[in-house]
């Protein structure tokens, strides 16, 4: 069974976290929710969320993938976290899947993981990206082991690409959920 860490920080976009995590669990992918600074996390729209454990208790070696949901508050907290940056770099160095949606690809940029890659993200945040990194207009992009999404409205396209990067097919799950297929 594949295993993914979803990192949460206060200010996370709840829709991105819940929808993507739900799709992954329906695909029998083990989801571990890692809180950046605590088990109790406050979403960007005021919803209380719970992590399974702290990021500090997680080792990149135990996961096949990592996912950073967006939400500017959460993305900014992850952007400023040396622990998140090192976790991402170790996941990439060890050949694992790295993914982010909405504002969170800026964290991938800070970790040095976007250079020479195709990616997408929420428009207007280019100032957080390294020189030469420009997002595309697509709702979701998979470039090798890097998966990115544009915003909350693209969660199902993003989850499809993330699942594919992990060797899973969302077709049956999406048919049962009445998610439009491409």
Burial grade of 165 (CB within 10 A; 0-12, 13-18, 19 or more): buried
Q: Which of 70, 64, 140, 151 is nearest to 106 (CA)?
A: 70
Look at residues 5, 13, 16, 94 and name the one whose alpha carbon lies nearest to residue 54.
5
Q: Which of 65, 102, 106, 111 is catalytic?
A: 102
CA distances from 50 to 25, 53, 76 (A): 16, 9, 19
What's the gap between Cα 180 and its chain centre? 22
What whole-number distance in Å separates Cα of residue 131 and Cα of residue 84?
A: 21
CA 37 to chain centre: 17
114 neighbors 132 (Cβ within 8 angstroms) = no
**Residue 133 appears among annotated catalytic residues:** no
Active site residues: 102
């Amino acid at each position: 069974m594949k295993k993914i860490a979803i990192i949460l920080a206060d200010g996370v976009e709840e829709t991105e976290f819940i929808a993507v995590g739900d799709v992954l669990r329906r695909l029998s992918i083990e989801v571990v929710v890692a809180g950046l600074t605590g088990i109790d996390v406050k979403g960007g729209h005021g919803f209380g969320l719970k992590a399974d454990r702290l990021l500090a208790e997680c080792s990149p070696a135990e996961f096949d993938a990592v996912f950073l949901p967006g939400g500017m508050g959460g993305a900014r907290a992850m952007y400023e976290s040396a622990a998140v940056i090192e976790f991402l770099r170790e996941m990439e160095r060890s050949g694992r899947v790295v993914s982010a949606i909405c504002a969170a690809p800026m964290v991938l940029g800070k970790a040095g993981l976007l250079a020479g890659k195709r990616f997408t993200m929420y428009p207007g945040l280019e100032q957080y990206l390294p020189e030469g990194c420009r997002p595309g207009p697509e709702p979701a992009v998979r470039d090798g082991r890097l998966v990115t999404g544009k915003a909350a409205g693209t969660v199902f396209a993003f989850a499809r690409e993330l699942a594919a990067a992990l060797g899973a097919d969302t077709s049956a799950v999406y048919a049962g959920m009445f998610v439009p297929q491409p």
